[in-house]
Amino acid sequence: MNPESAADGGRVVALVPAAGRGVRLGQSTPKAFVQVGGTSMLRRAVDGLVESGVVDDVVVMVPDEFVGATAELLPPGVRIVVGGAERIDSVRAGITASPDADIYLVHDAARALTPPALIARIVAELRCGRAAVVPALEVADTIKSVDIMGGVTGTPKRAELRAIQTPQGFDAALLRRAYESAGPGDAATDDAGLVERLGERVRTIPGEPLAFKITTPLDLLLADAVVGARES
């Protein structure tokens, strides 16, 4: 897709998990196929990766029954793979389908409005020799841990907390190793978490508010408003 960047230090493959059902969004269509401003989240996420100019190949992981629809939705050259029951299973399917990667970016389709400049910044950090890089935002709310009864068990210092976004970027060998050590259906909510378990250092760079994950109906309203304001 972008042969020039392959020449300067290895092949960058973007894996786009898009096989979730979107239970919290509550629509009948799987979330990645729900439209924001008239274009599906999946198409917007893929377009952002292509626009960044730093991605050689894009692999999307979608529900089995959406493979045909996805081919019509996306530009030619994007590879389509069947995802799995959990996000980790979907990403694993993408890794298996792209053994030639030197760098992986794992980027949620649900972060449909992610600025291409953020994607380029993650890859630039990897090209400087970092092995695992994620975008991070300071949190506005106080975060507490609770027990199963809802009783508060702790209040971590907010200044030390970050909300982590995607794309998450990895040296490909490191991410493959991290996935080898994780079982199928592992409950990890992000890929960097698997790398941390290996004892490897994960770096943060400043994230972008527009890289927010569209999870709930309120998020979708916000995303539609952002696109509407941009177009008017």
Number of residues that bind Mg ion (CB under 5 A): 1
Looking at the Cβ atoms of 11 and 31, the one nearer to ligand CTP is 31
Looking at the Cβ atoms of 55 and 110, the one nearer to ligand CTP is 110
Length of the chain: 232
Looking at the Cβ atoms of 9 and 219, the one nearer to ligand CTP is 219
Q: Per-residue contact track with ligand CTP, 137 to 156, x per CB under 6 A?
A: --------------------
Looking at the Cβ atoms of 45 and 172, the one nearer to ligand CTP is 45
**What is the C-alpha separation between 185 and 121, in angstroms, rounded?**
31
In the complex, minimum distance from the CB of residue 157 to ligand CTP, in angstroms, rounded to a whole number: 27
Residue 27 touching ligand CTP (CB under 6 A): no
Interacting positions 65-84 with Mg ion (CB under 5 A): none
Residue 109 touching ligand CTP (CB under 6 A): yes
What totals of helices (H) and strands (E) does the chain contain, helices first?
8, 12
In the complex, minimum distance from the CB of residue 93 to ligand CTP, in angstroms, rounded to a whole number: 9
- Which residues neighbour 138 within 8 Å (Cβ) at sequence distance 6 or greater? 159, 161, 162, 163
Closest by CA position to 213, among listed 28, 37, 17, 58: 17
Region for 26 from its dihedrals, namely left if φ exceeds 0, alpha if ψ lies in -120 to 50, beta otherwise: left
| Burial class of residue 77, CB neighbours in 10 A (0-12, 13-18, 19+) | exposed
Looking at the Cβ atoms of 56 and 86, the one nearer to ligand CTP is 86
Interface residue list for ligand CTP (CB under 6 A): 17-24, 31-32, 61, 83-87, 90, 108-110, 213, 215
Interface residue list for Mg ion (CB under 5 A): 20
